[in-house]
Amino acid sequence: MLNIRVIVTRYGGPQVIDVIEEPLRKPEKGEIRVKVQATGVALADIMRREGKIPMSPIPPFTPGYDVIGIVDELGEDVQKYSVGDKVAVFFNGTGGYAAYVYAKEDEIVAAPAHIDAVKAVAVILNYVTAYQMLHRIAKVSEGERILIHGASGGVGTALLELGKLAKLEMYGTASLAKHHIVSQYGAMPIDYRNEDFVDVLRLRAPEGMDVVFDPIGGRNYERSMKTLSKNGRFIGYGYTSILQQGDPEDWAKDWENLAKKQTTEKGNSVYLYAISSLKKERLDWFQEDVRFLLSLLEEGKINPLISHRIPLREAAQAQELLGKSLSVGKVVLICE
């Protein structure tokens, strides 16, 4: 039997992506082989492909954070899972784009057997990120005002849906063509291309934002901080602006400075969120949050927005759609 695996052959555009076939190996001791049903595509995959993330993996490597699949074979000493179990898998940014993946027990969480794999894969990275920022970090309360940048994206729509469940007053930046997506969650859309979100919010919500969620970085961080209320909290969770200009050192320097200060110039709290770091610190939270969110999905209380379902072999096209902002919600690779 062969495994199909997507690899980044060198840093660059979508053309550096290749698809290889290789013999399936036996899982090693403590390892689980999972037959992939769906794997997610993230902006961070593109940033790794271009070598823009601090300490980017050295090519060749296989991108991918999030997988839903079926346990196919168990290595020695694996007690917790059985062949045929449906599972969610989370990698730290590399490994997901494959027909079969190999994972350790701490990378796996049991998933309900009949859950839709495509919807479920959106939970692992996007919804866990949104949930942890809202409830573990910001500790939002009903009625609080939040600003979501990139509100039509995978994490953005997860923040909108979970924010609606938490009864928050929501504002979201998005291009004009995607405003209907933001509005359908009960949030007020702001056209980031033609409007100044700082000015718009000063008029619409002069009291300021209780929480801002910013994956953009650079000057956007500084401007986001201007919108905060007296007790507002700022959460940075990415640095996508370096896709346009800048390099990983800019990101690393900015994060290091903010991590040291932990407050804005006006004394507001600053948090820098990375799902991989928090999972390493609090594996119990991660596993608990995945299980909770999958249960919400099973009960029909959340409905992740899926933009495109694309065959695994067409991963380059999937990344191009995401990179050119031609998607809304989650882009998913399907394994037949």
| 92 and 164 housed in the same domain | no
What integer is the mean pLDDT of 310-315? 98
Q: Which domain does 310 fall in, by range?
A: 2-111+305-334
pLDDT at 264: 95
Report yes or no: 312 and 319 within 8 Å, Cβ to Cβ.
Answer: no
| 93 and 203 housed in the same domain | no
| 137 and 255 housed in the same domain | yes
pLDDT digits (tens, 9 = 90+) for 91-116: 999 999 999 999 999 999 999 999 99
pLDDT digits (tens, 9 = 90+) for 195-206: 999 999 999 999
**Domain assignment of residue 265, yes or no:** yes
| 98 and 173 housed in the same domain | no
275 is written with which tokens? 């799902």
| 175 and 87 housed in the same domain | no
Residue 336 has pLDDT above 80, yes or no: no
pLDDT at 83: 98
| 83 and 219 housed in the same domain | no
**Residue 48 is part of a domain; what is its CATH number?**
3.90.180.10
| 96 and 129 housed in the same domain | no
The radius of gyration of the chain's CA atoms, rounded to the nearest angstrom, is 20
Alpha-carbon span 37 to 73, nearest angstrom:
15
Residue 152 has pLDDT above 90, yes or no: yes
Alpha-carbon span 158 to 46, nearest angstrom:
20
| 182 and 271 housed in the same domain | yes
Alpha-carbon span 256 to 122, nearest angstrom:
29
**Domain assignment of residue 295, yes or no:** no
**Domain assignment of residue 36, yes or no:** yes
| 139 and 89 housed in the same domain | no
pLDDT digits (tens, 9 = 90+) for 234-270: 999 999 999 988 888 888 899 999 999 999 999 999 9
pLDDT digits (tens, 9 = 90+) for 7-62: 999 999 999 999 999 999 999 999 999 999 999 999 999 999 999 999 899 999 99
Strands (E), the chain: 2-8, 17-23, 31-41, 66-74, 86-90, 100-104, 108-110, 145-148, 169-174, 188-191, 209-214, 228-236, 269-272, 306-311, 330-334
**Domain assignment of residue 318, yes or no:** yes
SS3 state at 205: coil
Count how many domains the chain has: 2
| 169 and 70 housed in the same domain | no
**Residue 162 is part of a domain; what is its CATH number?**
3.40.50.720
DSSP 80: S
**Domain assignment of residue 201, yes or no:** yes
